[in-house]
Amino acid sequence: MFGLKGDWSLEVKDRYFTLEDYCGAEPRWCTGCGDHGILAAVHRVCRESQIAPEKTVAVSGIGCSSRLPHYMNTYGFHGLHGRALPVACGVKSRRPDLDVWVATGDGDCFSIGAGHWIHALRYNMDITLLVFDNGIYGLTKKQTSPTTPMNVPTNTHPSGALLPPLNPLTVTLGVTNISFVAQIVDWNAPLRHEVIKKAHEHKGTSFVRIIQRCPVYVEAIGKALQDEPARMQLLTHEKGVQVDDNVKRMFPNQAEHDPSDLAAARALAEDSTVLPLGILYHNPDAPRYDMMSSVGLEMGVDEKLAGMNKALDNFAI
């Protein structure tokens, strides 16, 4: 209308952030560790979103994964083992304007942190939850974790784990009020970037399980998958992530999957023969607890007193 084109509104930001503005200390992960790629993806997504570094918070627990906040030039909280999610939820409930990333691992989240995991998913606060699942306790030098495959010898289980590994996808998809569940591998950069970007944009708890290589302790797990690309299944759909044809050619096994279909997502998660990659479930409208817990934050002292008095009037004699 009025001769204006579709993009008539000029969004000019007065501060501009380059990639370096988000990079913190030089990462000390082992060479060949999948964590490097995930960090690079997080930096790029931050740069694309142009959210100020001082408005970004990276929260972690304990493990190789949890070194992430040190390598980001943002606010950060490197907390206790298994307690990344309660801290993140606390940050979000008090400061809903901040952009919160959570870096946790298979041990930190699925083992000691399991209790918080279930409830953080249901609370659906707006955080981006990246689980660096390498199938081992790496920082403490090779103990079996909930997701270690059975045939992998470790220091705690020299003949391999006695029980089949936990399936984090079925657990996550079984929690009420989840809003975003995705799975990727760390070594496919374009898919990794698109999924993390979409997870970051989603308003709610974005659970991304990243199958991450540990070249020092469990090289075999990563190698097995890399050698057999047919074991992975790329999920395609117009409501999912869109990737180039070059990327699609890397996955001989592809399937059409509508992310709004919860039952289909659960069936995919149950199927132990393939590893689905992409967005399994996405519900943009699930209620968020941080919207409710931040009501009244901007009230002044007088308003609060007035409100309290009004409530107490109900009980006055």
If binding is defined by CB under 8 A, does position 97 make contact with another protein? no
If binding is defined by CB under 8 A, does position 213 make contact with another protein? yes
Q: Are 61 and 43 in contact (CB under 8 A)?
A: no
User: Which residues, numbered 111-130, are part of the site for another protein (CB under 8 A)?
Assistant: none
CB of 66 to another protein, least distance (A): 19
Pick left, alpha or beta for residue 34 (phi over 0 → left; psi -120 to 50 → alpha; otherwise beta).
alpha
C-alpha pair distances (Å), 114 with each of 17, 86, 105, 203, 212: 36, 11, 11, 22, 19
Residue 258 CA to residue 23 CA, distance in Å, equals: 36
Residue 135 CA to residue 186 CA, distance in Å, equals: 13
- Binding segment for another protein (CB under 8 A), chosen from 42-50, 56-64, 254-262, 275-283, is 42-50
**Alpha carbon 85 to chain centroid, angstroms:** 11
User: Which residues, numbered 242-301, are part of the site for another protein (CB under 8 A)?
Assistant: 244, 246-247, 250
If binding is defined by CB under 8 A, does position 313 make contact with another protein? no
Nearest to 149 by CA among 125, 162, 165: 165
**Alpha carbon 145 to chain centroid, angstroms:** 19
Q: Which of 177, 226, 254, 294 binds another protein (CB under 8 A)?
A: 226
Closer residue to another protein in complex, CB, 50/170: 50
Using CB under 8 A as the binding criterion, the count of chain residues that bind another protein stands at 44
Residue 72 CA to residue 58 CA, distance in Å, equals: 8
Closer residue to another protein in complex, CB, 251/281: 251
User: Which residues, numbered 187-206, are part of the site for another protein (CB under 8 A)?
Assistant: 187-190, 192
Nearest to 218 by CA among 59, 42, 64, 26: 64
Closer residue to another protein in complex, CB, 33/199: 33
Q: Which of 24, 40, 70, 201 binds another protein (CB under 8 A)?
A: 40
Closer residue to another protein in complex, CB, 34/135: 34
Interface with another protein (CB under 8 A): 1-16, 18-20, 31-34, 36-37, 39-40, 43-44, 50, 186-190, 192, 213, 215, 222, 226, 244, 246-247, 250
